[in-house]
A and B are shown apart, each in its own frame.
Chain A
Amino acid sequence: MSSIELTAKINKIIKFSNVDGPGNRMAIFFQGCNFNCEYCHNPETINICKNCYKCVDECPTNALYIEKEKVVWNDSLCCECDRCIKSCGFDASPKVKEYSVSQLVKEVAKVKAFIKGVTVSGGESTLQYKFITEFFKEIKKSWPNLTCFVDTNGSLDLEKDIYKEFVEVTDSFMLDVKAWNEEEHFKLTEKRVENVIKNLNFLKEIGKLFEVRTVVVQGKLNNRMTIKNVSEVIAKTDVRYKIIKYRHFGVREILQETLLPPTDKELEELESLAQKLEVKNTLII
């Protein structure tokens, strides 16, 4: 089998993004995630559609239909009302497209003159590491000046041999460290924190950590503890620490009431804590 025939389910491609790494980047969002974060801002990227057809009935423009028992999305008819996503009780989206590596490379070709590189995100992009490895190799072959970044929740143990080629072909990673405390992390994400912290150290050591992100939620999380511990790891390096203000936007309605955004004062205090611990580059967004 030629590696070019590998395919992946992609939820969205943003041709120009200024928040997914250095410069202007094409950001590719893969479908499917192994975390189930309470505050997830795009929960429809978590699961793969199980073809219950609920959304098909909801679609006002017939952009969704059933073909060979599967839900198919015709984007040219879509009015982007997102009723399908709201009606899905399964945290999936029918608006997903299957791309082969070569099809995705063609998408990059259109914008190559305008971007510094590509960033794969999600969902959780590393779950598609085989596809991404081939995709990045193709990009490097065609446009060596473009950089390839991965945005990850850090759940896979990237030190393992099976990920060696994937890590090698990736220029840099952007890592979410959502919580430091094991119990807290599990409660938030339904997964353990062990690999996240392992990856934080590993990626820093090999010089492939561009940025760490922590979403700050008021009251709910021990934000201070997370930021203190991350800061100690990335102190005195060029790794940027992005401190993100939790916002309700996109979060599952049922959970919105239990989560509160932090005050600007809290964010500034957390930023100065990171700076005090000698993090050279911090950013609140």
Chain B
Amino acid sequence: MILETIKSQKITFEQKVVTLARLAEGSIEVLNKSEALKKYIEDGIICDLFEGNAPYRPRYIVPDYDVFMQNGSKFLNLDKPTNIWEAVHGLLILYKHVPSITTMPVYLGNIDYLLEPFIKDESEAYLAIKLFLKHIDSTITDSFCHANIGPKETKAGLIILKVMRELELPTPNLTIKYAEETSDKIAVEAIQTALVTAKPSFANDKIFRDDFKGEYGIVSCYNGLKVGGGANTLVRVRLGALSKLASSKEEFLTKVLPEVSKEMLNYIDERSKFVIEESGFYESSFLVKEGLLEKEKFTGLFGFVGLAECVNNLLGATEKKDRFGYSEVAADLALEIVRSMSSLVQNHKTKYAGEFFGNTHLLHSQVGIDTDRNESPGCRIPVGEEPEIFEHIVQSAPFHQYCPSGIGDIFVFDETYKSNPEAILDIIKGAFETDMRFFSLYSDSCDVVRVTGYLVKRSEMEKLDKGEQVLRDTTILGKGARDNAKALGRKLRSE
């Protein structure tokens, strides 16, 4: 495996280094795993998403970049920025020192608010922002890297959207925090940008702000996390596969689900414990020392996929009218399952989740990985089975409240919406009024498309199909999700 990686011509040098590091980490066993857990892992029911055997950094890190803009960084020998060039330059340097599971930062900050104070001359700011975003795409070669804008309209925000439309690049991913104070102008600009380059997504600011008692960041695919904190680990359960262990829905709810959850929560604790107590991350990182991170704002994520498959299995639903997405019985059972998981997670108090979260981990509707088959992302209706958009939103929204650290649905719109982007804004407003937490969209004519939560270019996947190297490792994941999970076959919304 090591030699194979070294000799590969399909991956870049950078991708080789990361793969070799993973192999090294995988060669030791330092975590305590129960026999039951080992069995769940072996059967593909519990999965740690390739986090490795000895986690030496939190999975997702959400630095408080405001602290950096106020103080600069002693460790990086950077003064507080005083103009747009120093601001983008300083951030670009800092980003390269923010670790994560992918080795690259998954969160870049509310980049419009960070840059707004430095916008004096708009044409100069446009150039600085264009170079900034191009630099990020070429050096942070992973589209789990995510920036935020909003909720207020800013000059910087409008420039960022314009530049993203022009560049059509997958990285960074982008979310606009949408609130009542968000102007229709920037919201429509955001939609027009999304119809060209599949971003930004829309986050329901009120719901996130309530859940995180203030500042939060949208990171990686769509994960909500506390600014100045993050997530030590994400372990997930495949509900579709799990449901096969139960002979009835009662058995699933009263026995199978609580048992697997217990193992999951213990495993999340065990992994977090290693990051916190053994790896030395919190003692040694300058991000902690300089106040950009705080251990108490970190938590662990309890992820799940395949709710649809789980419910359909338990109900033996084969006909469309009985399946998840169409039947009320299926929707009620699905809600019961998610509520049960939510309360199991909330009742598990642990010193391995920060005080900020009342020492609990958070429930996360996970989007799946490239090798998943027969498991739909989180609470989503399977691709290819989606109902009409109105029914789709109304059926999906009730699940969103239970997943503070992230859940989302993706909608693909046809070309006609480009001449009426306000129509999409009306739909988003309605979705948020229905308590949907997160809304993603793209157009069927985009080169950049949203796979499950991250972005890839169709043209880059075609290169990969031909066996050529590609810059971004997410393209490799995107190709897998396209081939194994029909991730690009979503229902087209027209008229």
- Which A residues form the contact surface with B (CB < 8 A)? 14-19, 22-25, 110-111, 113-116, 283, 285
Contacts and interface: CB of A to CB of B under 8 A. Distances in A.
Q: Report which residue of B388, B390, B417, B429 has the largest number of chain A beta carbons within 10 angstroms of its beta carbon.
A: B390
A239 B422 CA distance: 17
Interface string B469-495: 000000000000000000000000101
Given A17-B423, A23-B422, A113-B430, 10 more contacts: A16-B390, A18-B417, A23-B420, A23-B425, A24-B423, A111-B390, A113-B429, A114-B431, A115-B426, A115-B430
Contacts of A25: 423
Interface string B409-435: 000000011011011111101110110
B422 A22 contact: yes
Contacts of B424: 18, 24
Contacts of A17: 423, 495
A116 B419 contact: no
Nearest 8 CB-CB pairings of A with B:
A114-B430, A24-B426, A18-B423, A24-B423, A113-B430, A113-B433, A23-B422, A18-B420
Interface string B364-376: 0000000000000
Nearest to A26: B390
Residue of A17, A18, A285 with most partner-chain B CB within 10 A: A18
Contacts of A15: 388, 390
Contacts of B422: 22-24, 116
Given A114-B390, A114-B431, A14 B426 contact: no
Given A15-B390, A16-B389, A285-B416, A116 B495 contact: no
Contacts of B420: 18-19, 22-23
A116 B430 CA distance: 10
B393 interface: yes
A16 B416 contact: no
Interface class of chain B by DSSP: helix
Nearest to B389: A16
A239 to B, nearest CB: 16
A172 B425 CA distance: 21
A76 to B, nearest CB: 9
Contacts of B495: 14, 16-19
A114 to B, nearest CB: 3
Nearest to A27: B495
Q: Which residue, B417, B426, B434, B493, has most C-beta atoms of chain A within 10 A?
A: B426
Nearest to B430: A114
Contacts of B419: 283, 285
Contacts of A19: 416, 420, 495
Contacts of A16: 388-390, 423, 427, 493, 495
A114 B393 contact: yes
A114 B433 CA distance: 9
Contact of B427 (A14, A22, A114, A285): A114
Contact of A111 (B416, B425, B429, B430): B430
A18 B418 CA distance: 10
Nearest to B433: A113
Contacts of A113: 429-430, 433-434
Nearest to B419: A283
Nearest to A117: B426
Contacts of B390: 15-16, 110-111, 114
Contacts of B493: 16
- Chain A CB within 10 Å, residue with most, of B389, B422, B423, B493: B423
Given A17-B495, A18-B495, A113-B434, A24 B388 contact: no
Interface in B423-477: 423-427, 429-431, 433-434
A25 B430 CA distance: 12
Contacts of A111: 390, 430
Contacts of A285: 416, 419
A17 B425 CA distance: 13
A23 B434 contact: no
14 contacts: A16-B388, A16-B389, A16-B427, A16-B495, A18-B423, A19-B416, A22-B420, A23-B423, A25-B423, A114-B427, A115-B426, A115-B430, A116-B423, A116-B426
B426 A23 contact: yes
A15 B422 CA distance: 16
Contacts of A115: 426, 430
A111 B416 CA distance: 21
A113 B394 CA distance: 11
A119 to B, nearest CB: 12
